[in-house]
Amino acid sequence: MSVSCRSAITCCSRIAKSQSSNLLRTSSYALARQTPSRRWQSTETAPSNPKIAGIVDQISQLTLLETADLVSSLKSRLNIADIPMGGFAAAAPAAPAAAPVEEEEAAPAAQEKTLFNLKLKSFDAAAKPKVIKEIKSMLGLSLVDSKKFVESAPKMMKESVPKEEAEKIVEALKALGAVVEME
C-alpha cells in the first residue's frame, strides 16, 4: 500500500471511531424512542438456511473497509475479473471484433426485413379530421400537435415497427384516406 493510501485509511478510521462514539451517545435516546421494526431485523425476507442467515448477519456487521477487503478476497478466490469502467476506452477494442459478425448477419437481413419505418405521405382533404384523430391516438400526441404533424406531411410517423403492426397501421390509415409508406 502506498503512503497516501495508508494515511487516508488511518484518517478515515479515526473519523469513523470519533463519529461512532458520538453516534452512540446521541442515538441511545433515539433508539429508545424508535419502534422495534427495522429493515435489517425484518423477518419477511430472512433466508431459510441458517448457514446463509449467519453469513448475512456477519457481513452486515462489517465496516466499509472490511467489506472492501471481503470483496477483493472473494474476487481473487473465485477468479472474478474486474469489470472495466472505462466507457469509450473500454468499448473501442470490441468494435473491430464485431465487424465480421455484422457482415455475416447482413446477408440474412437483406433476405427478409422485419422492422419498418412508417412515413405519412399524404391524405385526403375530406378525411383530414379522421386522420388527425387516428394519428393522435397512435402517437399519443395532443390534438394541436397531431394537427401540425398531419399538415406537415410527408413526415416520418414511427421507426423500427414490426411488420405485423406496420401493416395494421397502414391498413387503418388507408381506410381513412391517408397514404402511408413502409420503408
CATH code of the domain occupying 114-182: 3.30.1390.10
Span 18-63, pLDDT tens digits: 555 554 454 445 544 555 555 555 555 555 789 988 988 898 898 9
Span 89-144, pLDDT tens digits: 444 554 455 455 555 555 555 557 888 888 988 888 888 899 899 888 888 889 99
Among 110, 172, 120, 180, which Cα is nearest to 150's? 120
pTM of the model: 0.39
Q: Which three cell numbers stand for residue 158?
A: 414511427
The full set of domain ranges for the chain reads 114-182
